[in-house]
Structure 1
Amino acid sequence: MNSVRKIPHALSCAGVLLAAAHANADAPSPQWSFANVSVNYLDWSSGTERRTADNAAKSDFFYLELEGGLGYEWGEFYGFFDVENPGNDQFDEASGGKDNFRTAGKVTSHLYLGESPFSVYAHLYDFRDYGYDLREQDQVLGLGYRHTFASGLWFKPFLGAARVQSDGYTGMNGFMAGWVAGYDFTAFGQEFSVTNWHEQTFGRDDDYLAKNYVGGKADSVGTNGALSLWWHPHDRITTGVQYRYSDEKLGAPGQYQNAMIYTLKLNLL
């Protein structure tokens, strides 16, 4: 499959950041770390498939994911890399391009500001559709915050300036605010957790909104995220369901898009 030869290029930024985290750590080993591989199935709602049929059409797909994170006294890092439709050609003829081979990767970091709960936040997301030779890389730099409540709920919001590199537009692209949050609990003698990631983009550039969307110009405000419920039946196994939501994102202007994602993880650390 010709697509495989392009994967290292999409992974390069994530790999450099994670390698640098290990190489420059003051401590001989991280204070915490995790890693997993997973198989996932994303099922778009029928309404989403109908609303986007003529603009950035959506189709259900499988994807494989490698995910991990690590934390030191001075900062923490998180990253994932997805391979979507791993068995398909770069351009999938049967689906008319909806089920092309694609990749997506993300790295985030919090570099702590002394003993305070604030941090320098950096964020890089890279998406590529090889059948259409499309790419978009979002870069965010700003401030983060972290707090764990007495209940065990943890919350890490951020706000930063955004830049984008894409085929249609490259340059500054407004701002992004968002958070990741989670809560662990026990029910029926089993371990569970709820997590949420959310991104709100605003003040995006008009040229970007006109050139990077299909069928019209998107609004300057965009929403992206997922709410997840995880079950941990064993140290090595996690399974869960995620509600994926998006508005004025994913190439479709003026459309709310939602899906369910079904996941099975093998925990490596």
Structure 2
Amino acid sequence: MKKIALLSAAALLASAPASAEYLYGFGNISVNYLDWSKNTQDRTGFQEDFAYLELEGGAGFDWGEVYGFFDLENVQDGSDELRTAYKGTIAYKIADTDFRLYGQHYATDSKGFAANNTVLGGQYRFQGDGWFVTPWVGAHMTITNPSWNDGFTGFNGGMFGWTAVYNFTAWDQKFWISNWHESEFARKSDYTDVSGETDDVSMNGALAFWWDATEHVTTGIQYRYAYNKLGTVGNQNAFIYSLRYNF
């Protein structure tokens, strides 16, 4: 399972050109606390608040963009309860246009459960002065390995989503708003039967407000939402409180 996840992530990065013009980049390390709503905890019976550390970065080149993060979750409970999660994405420009070939790989691993999701498709980049929106869609492959059943491996319908960022200045301070969103569709019944999510359509994302307090320090609050995702049916929501150090 872990070997498949690592090979998928490496394939995304290996597809980038060896030589390219560097345009921009960013990186940060952050401490975060996710606080589930009481309704979510009462209804699911298993979602618990947790702290996590995150390493995040991205870059733009003349051929396209790359992005990735690595999370270490449940740090408040010690090494026995740690979870890991990571995502890597690549968007490769098609000729001199705003269309891209798009790929992403997401994996999570904890005691008793592991999942890997790979998407291959296309993306379009809208951008202007201080903002961008990048909708994408693609075919979806899923591998799950829960300890309580045989899991699922194979094609699992499709996925679409977007990333959006808007920067602005107020009271001589720098602020920005971000939103990432993913929706799965036409998921296989063999997957929903073992995942606990039942429906063939899902929704997953976060809407965030950020303040660049200094060149190196950013703080923010994120509204985390999900529907028929994260191992349960219906709506789930939480707030995430974040403090970042920017490299």
* Length-normalised TM-score, structure 1: 0.84
Give the aligned residue type for 2:73. Answer: E
Give the aligned residue type for 1:48. Answer: T
**Is 1:155 matched up with 2:133?**
yes
**Is 1:196 matched up with 2:175?**
no
Give the aligned residue type for 1:82. Answer: D
Give the aligned residue type for 1:24. Answer: A
**Cα deviations across residues 46-73 of structure 1 (Å, max 9, x unaligned)?**
00000101xxx10000000000001110
**Is 1:123 matched up with 2:104?**
yes
Give the aligned residue type for 1:102. Answer: R
Residue 31 of structure 1 aligns to a residue in which SS? strand
For 1:156 and 1:185, the matched residues in 2 are separated by 19
Q: In structure 2, what is the equivalent of residue 244 of structure 1?
A: 224
**Is 1:75 matched up with 2:58?**
no
Per-residue deviation, 1:212: 1.7
Determine if contact 1:10/1:103 at 8 Å carries over to the other structure: no
1:169-188 superposed matches below 5 A: 169-188=152-171
For 1:41 and 1:20, the matched residues in 2 are separated by 33
Give the aligned residue type for 1:33. Answer: G
Determine if contact 1:103/1:127 at 8 Å carries over to the other structure: yes
Where does the alignment leave 5 or more consecutive residues of structure 2 unmatched?
146-150
Where does the alignment leave 5 or more consecutive residues of structure 1 unmatched?
1-5, 92-99
Instruction: Work out the percentage of aligned pairs sharing the same amino acid.
Output: 41
Per-residue deviation, 1:136: 0.6
1:205-224 superposed matches below 5 A: 205-213=188-196, 218-224=198-204
**Is 1:136 matched up with 2:130?**
no
Q: In structure 2, what is the equivalent of residue 43 of structure 1?
A: 35
Higher strand share: 2
For 1:171 and 1:14, the matched residues in 2 are separated by 14
For 1:10 and 1:103, the matched residues in 2 are separated by 15
Detail structure 1 runs of 4+ shifted over 6 Å in the superposition: 8-11
**Cα deviations across residues 4-35 of structure 1 (Å, max 9, x unaligned)?**
xx9x96983587368647871333xx211111
Give the aligned residue type for 2:19. Answer: A
Q: Count matched residues.
A: 242
